[in-house]
Amino acid sequence: MPEILVFATLNGLVTGLLLFMLASGLTVIFSMMGVLNFAHASFYMLGAYFAYSISLWFGYWTGLIVAPLLVGALGALVERYGLRRVHQQGHVAELVFTFGLAFLIEEAVQFFWGPETRNYQAPELLDFPLFTLFGQEFSAYRGFMLAISMSIFLGLYHTLTRSRVGLVIQAAITHPQMTAQLGHNVPLIFTMVFGVGTALAGLAGVIAGPVLTTFPGMALGLGSIVFVIVVIGGLGSLQGALLASLLIGLLQSYAIAADVGVPDLLAMLGVEFPGDHPLDDLWTLHLAQVAPVLPFLLLVLVLVFRPKGLLGKRE
Amino acid sequence: MLELSGLHAWHGKSHVLQGVELEVGRGEIVSLLGRNGAGRSTTLKAIIGEVEPHGSIVFRNKQIAGRKSFEIARLGLGHVPENRQVFPGLTVRQNLLLGMKPGAAAGRWNIAELFAMFPLLAARAETPGGVLSGGEQQLLSMCRTLMGDPEMILIDEPTEGLAPKLVEQVGNLLLEIAARGVAILLVEQKRNIAMRISQRLYVMGHGQVVWEGSPDSLARADAVRAEWLEV
C-alpha cells in the first residue's frame, strides 16, 4: 500500500505540474484579453513536434531549448499581428479567431508531420531508473519533468510577484489604460506575456511529448483538461491554476492507482451479480476506468457549487 | 506648454468635444469648470490618448494627437483620472513604484518625501491599494503620477466625495505641485477650490470653451455663472 501511495503521488505531481505549465499561461492570458485562448494547447503540440524534428538533427537537448523559443516567437507574432487586430472587433471575434487558429495548427501539423504518431523519444542520458522503492522503479525522465516544471513554477512566481516586470503585468491586468498613462508600454507587455505563455506551453509539449506520445490529437486531449483546470481554479487566478492542476493531477493518478471498483463495493455489501447480466459492464466498472472523466465531473461540481472557481474573484 | 485647437472627440455616435480651444503655460494652474456632461473629463482623456482625439494637441512643441498613451506619458504629461485607478492587489509602495517610468532618472519627487508629506500613506505602505479609503486612494493616485516626474499633470475631480480634512490635504498637494514648477490642468466641481488656486479658468458647455478669464473676473461674471455653472 505505501508504495502505491508514494508512486501515485509522484506521478500525480508530474502530471499536475505539467498541466500547470499550460494552465498558468492560459489563465494569465485570459486575465489580459478577457477571452480564453482556445489555441493554447495547440502551442503545446507545436512544442512537441518542433522538438521532435530538432531532436532528429541536433539531439534532444537542443530541442529542449530551441523549440519553446520558436513556439514563443510564433505566439508573440500571433498576438501582435493577429489577436491585436481582431481585438478591436470584440470578444466574440477573438474567440472565433483562437478557435480557427487551433484548427489551423492541427491541420498544419498533420500536413507537415502526417497523421500518425511520431516516435519522439526521451534522451538516452535519462533512460535509467532514478530510484527503486519497494521494488518499483521511478524513471529519471519523470524526475527530470518534475524538476523542470518545479523550477518553471518558482521562476514564474518570483517574476510575477517580486520583479518590476511582474508588477507592471499585474497592474496592466487590472487597469491597462492607467498603466499606459504612467508611461509603460502596455501593448508590448501583452505581446511579451503572450509569447512567454505560449513558450511555456511549448516547453510542456517538449518534455511531455516522449511520455504522452506525440500525435496530432494531443492538443485536443490535453486542451480540454487545461480549460477545466483554469475554470476550477478560478479564471485569472494563478494560485487557483496551481491548486487545480495539482488537484486534477493527483486525483487522476490516485484513481488509476487505487485498484478498487464496483465489484469491491458490491462484495463489501455482500451483493453478487451473475456474470451474464445485461448491465454487467456497470457492475465491473473500476475507478481507473473513470479516471479520465473525473476532471469534468469536478468541473460540473465546481460550477454548481462555486461558479467563480476555487480561488477566483469574478463570477 | 499645452495648446489645444479645434479638438473634437466622439463617444460612439455622440459628438462630445466640438472644437475645444485652450492653452496652459509652463508651471501654470488652469481649471476647467462646467456642468456634468460639458466635456471636461473627455477633454483630459483626449489629451492623454484614452479617447481618440481629432484636431491639434501640441505639448512641449510636439504634436501628440494620435500618439499612444505611454508615449504621451513619457513626454512628461501625467493624468490622474476621476476614478483614481489604484491597482487594488498591489501595495501602496508598489503602486508608487509603478509611477516611475522605465529607465528614468530620479526626478522632483521620491517615495520617502511623499511619505513624509502624507503620513497617512506612509502608515499604509505595505497595505494593498484596494482597501484604502477614497481619500487615501486619491492621494495615492496623485503621488503615483508625480513619481513619474511629469512637467504637467491633468487632474480630474480630485476632491469628489472626500471628507473636508482630505480635501484640504489634496488642495495643499496641488499648491505644492505648482510650487515645484509643474503645470496643472484641473477639472474641479468645487468652485471655491478652483477659484482659490487657479491662475486662469475656462468654462465649458456643450463640448466647447464658452468663457475664459481670471478667478476675479469669474467672481464678477454673474451671467456666466448662472448660464454655465449653477444648477
For residue A107, CA distances in Å to A68, A76, A193, A208 come to 20, 21, 26, 21
Q: What is the ipTM of this complex?
A: 0.91
With CA atoms as reference, the chain A residue closest to B154 would be A181
The minimal CB distance from A184 to the residues B72, B81, B102 is found for: B102
Interface of A with B (CB under 8 A): 164, 167-168, 170-171, 174-175, 177-187
The minimal CB distance from A167 to the residues B50, B98, B148 is found for: B98
The minimal CB distance from B88 to the residues A167, A174, A187 is found for: A174
Q: Residue A315 pLDDT more than 60?
A: no
| Interface contact B148-A182, CB threshold 8 A | yes
**Residues A201/A131, Cβ–Cβ less than 8 Å:** no
Q: Residue A6 pLDDT more than 90?
A: no
Mean pLDDT of A193-201: 93
User: What pLDDT was estimated at residue A274?
Assistant: 64
Domains of chain A: 2-260+291-305 (1.10.3470)
| Helix pair angle (A140-162, A186-212), 10° resolution | 170
Per the document, the length of chain B is 231
Per-residue pLDDT of chain B (231 residues; tens, 9 = 90+): 999 999 999 988 899 899 999 999 998 999 999 888 888 999 999 999 999 999 999 999 999 998 999 999 999 999 999 989 999 989 999 999 999 987 777 788 889 999 998 998 999 999 999 999 888 999 999 999 999 999 999 999 998 888 888 888 888 889 889 889 999 999 987 778 888 889 999 999 888 999 998 888 888 888 888 888 877
Q: Give the pLDDT band of residue A308 (cuts 50, 70, 90).
A: confident
* Neighboring chain B residues of A175 at a CB cutoff of 8 Å: 85, 87
* Neighboring chain B residues of A189 at a CB cutoff of 8 Å: none
pLDDT tens digits along A135-158: 777 888 888 999 998 898 899 888
Interface mutation target, options A182, A186, A237, A311, chain B, most CBs of B under 10 Å: A182
* Mean pLDDT, chain A, whole residue set: 87
**Residues B36/B160, Cβ–Cβ less than 8 Å:** no
pLDDT tens digits along A83-103: 989 988 888 898 899 999 999
pLDDT, greater one: B138 or A314: B138
CA distance A178 to chain B (A): 7
pLDDT tens digits along A15-60: 999 999 999 889 888 887 777 889 999 999 999 999 999 999 998 8
| Interface contact A182-B73, CB threshold 8 A | yes
B10: contact with A, CB 8 A cutoff: no
Interface mutation target, options B51, B85, B151, chain A, most CBs of A under 10 Å: B85
The minimal CB distance from B90 to the residues A167, A180, A182 is found for: A167
**Residues A186/A245, Cβ–Cβ less than 8 Å:** no
User: What pLDDT was estimated at residue A49?
Assistant: 95
| Interface contact A178-B85, CB threshold 8 A | yes
A&B contacts, CB < 8 Å: 61
With CA atoms as reference, the chain B residue closest to A162 would be B94
* Neighboring chain B residues of A167 at a CB cutoff of 8 Å: 90, 94, 97-98
Q: Which one, of A203, A11, A313, A72, lies nearest residue B130 by Cα?
A: A313
Residue B213: count other Cβ atoms within 10 Å of its Cβ.
Answer: 15
- A196, three cell numbers: 512567454
With CA atoms as reference, the chain B residue closest to A313 would be B89
Strands (E), A164-269: none
| Interface contact A180-B73, CB threshold 8 A | yes
pLDDT tens digits along A218-257: 888 888 899 999 999 888 788 889 999 999 999 888 888 8
Residue B228 DSSP class: I
For residue A136, CA distances in Å to A6, A12, A124, A130 come to 10, 16, 20, 11
CA distance A219 to chain B (A): 34
For every residue of B39-58, DSSP letters joined together read SHHHHHHHHHTSS--EEEEE
Residue B187 DSSP class: E
Query: Residue holding cell 508598489?
Result: B94
| Interface contact A170-B90, CB threshold 8 A | yes
Q: Residue A313 pLDDT more than 90?
A: no
User: What pLDDT was estimated at residue B148?
Assistant: 92
Domains of chain B: 2-229 (3.40.50.300)
* Neighboring chain A residues of B48 at a CB cutoff of 8 Å: 181
pLDDT tens digits along A59-73: 889 999 999 999 999
- Euclidean distance between CA atoms A148 and A152, whole angstroms: 6
* Neighboring chain A residues of B76 at a CB cutoff of 8 Å: none
> Which positions ≥6 away from A175 have C-beta within 8 Å?
B85, B87
Range 64-83 of B in CB contact (< 8 A) with A: 68-70, 72-74, 78-79, 81
User: What pLDDT was estimated at residue B130?
Assistant: 92
With CA atoms as reference, the chain B residue closest to A171 would be B87
Q: Residue A261 pLDDT more than 80?
A: no
Task: State the Cα torsion A156-A161-A164-A166 to the nearest 10°.
Answer: 50
With CA atoms as reference, the chain B residue closest to A183 would be B70
The minimal CB distance from A171 to the residues B50, B72, B90 is found for: B90
- Euclidean distance between CA atoms B37 and A199, whole angstroms: 47
- Euclidean distance between CA atoms B114 and B131, whole angstroms: 20
Mean pLDDT of A107-129: 86
B148: contact with A, CB 8 A cutoff: yes
| Interface contact A183-B81, CB threshold 8 A | no
Q: Give the pLDDT band of residue A278 (cuts 50, 70, 90).
A: low
The proportion of chain A whose per-residue pLDDT surpasses 90, expressed as a percent, equals: 39
